[in-house]
Structure 1
Amino acid sequence: MPKMVLLSQYLSINGNDLSDYARKAEVTVEVEDKDVTTYGSLGWKVVLGGLKSGEVAAEFLQDVAATKIDSIMWPLLGTVVPFEVRADSGAVSTSNPKYTGNLLVKAWNPIEGSIGDEASVGVSYPTSGAVTRATA
């Protein structure tokens, strides 16, 4: 069975390659389950897929210097912007698909942590509209 170790993920938000700041990037997509059980199902639950939704989560190492992550993300607060995530920063291919769509930057935590911690920022953004998977 093939295995994979994430060594060089690619994360772009609003056209900004944030890979140098990111130490984790996750794309999650799910479908609501809608219960359509009737007496005719003889006691078995019957479900159908409903609305789809997604989320992009990331952990960044913070940098508040001019032109760095904080100055990139702060102006995006409250806006819907495009994203792209790949398991590897290499070219998009059948073995390195890209996941794209739009997300709502609903929060930004410019200062997080305790004494002695690295300055990091954890975020989780809902997608807005379809999330697509492409291999070319």
Structure 2
Amino acid sequence: MPKMVLTSEFVSLNGTDLSEYTRKAELSVEVEEKDVTTYASAGWKETLGGLKGGELGLEFLQDFAATRLDSIMWPLFGTVVTFEVRPTSAAVGTSNPKWTGSVLIKEWKPIEGGVGDEATAGVSFPTSGAVTRATS
């Protein structure tokens, strides 16, 4: 049984590789469930897929230095930007697919954490438009 430990995920927003700041990345996609049950369904519920959507959740280790994470993310707040994620930073291929699309930068947490914690920024961005999977 194949197994994998994520040790070098690739994360890019707006064409900028943010992997060095990222310690967790989660891309989820879903489709709305639409009930199309009729009397002809013979007592069984029937469903179809409706609108599709997704979410990109990221946890960053914060960096406030000039040209670093906070100065990259702050101007993106409120805009729709492209993203790319893949299991490793290696070249895209059949064993290292990439997922791409666009997300709305709907939130930014410049400061998050308590006394003695790492300076982190946990965020979640909704997808905007199609999410695609590619192996080349």
TM-score interval, normalised by the smaller of the two chains: over 0.9
Please say if 1:46 is aligned against 2:65. Answer: no
Tell me what 2:37 maps to: 37
Question: What is the deviation of 1:44?
Answer: 1.1
Runs of 4+ in 1 over 3 A off after TM superposition: none
- Give RMSD over aligned pairs: 0.5
Q: Deviations over 1:29-49 (max 9, x none)?
A: 110010001111122110000
**Alignment identity in percent?**
71
Task: Give the AA of the match of 1:35.
Answer: D
Q: Secondary structure at the match of 2:71?
A: helix
Task: Give the AA of the match of 2:57.
Answer: A
Tell me what 2:86 maps to: 86
Tell me what 2:26 maps to: 26
Gaps of 5+ in 1: none
Alignment of 1:46-65 (within 5 A): 46-65=46-65
Q: Deviations over 1:54-80 (max 9, x none)?
A: 111100000011101000000000000
Tell me what 1:113 maps to: 113
Please say if 1:135 is aligned against 2:126. Answer: no
Tell me what 2:124 maps to: 124
Alignment length (residue pairs): 136
Q: Secondary structure at the match of 2:75?
A: helix
Tell me what 1:66 maps to: 66
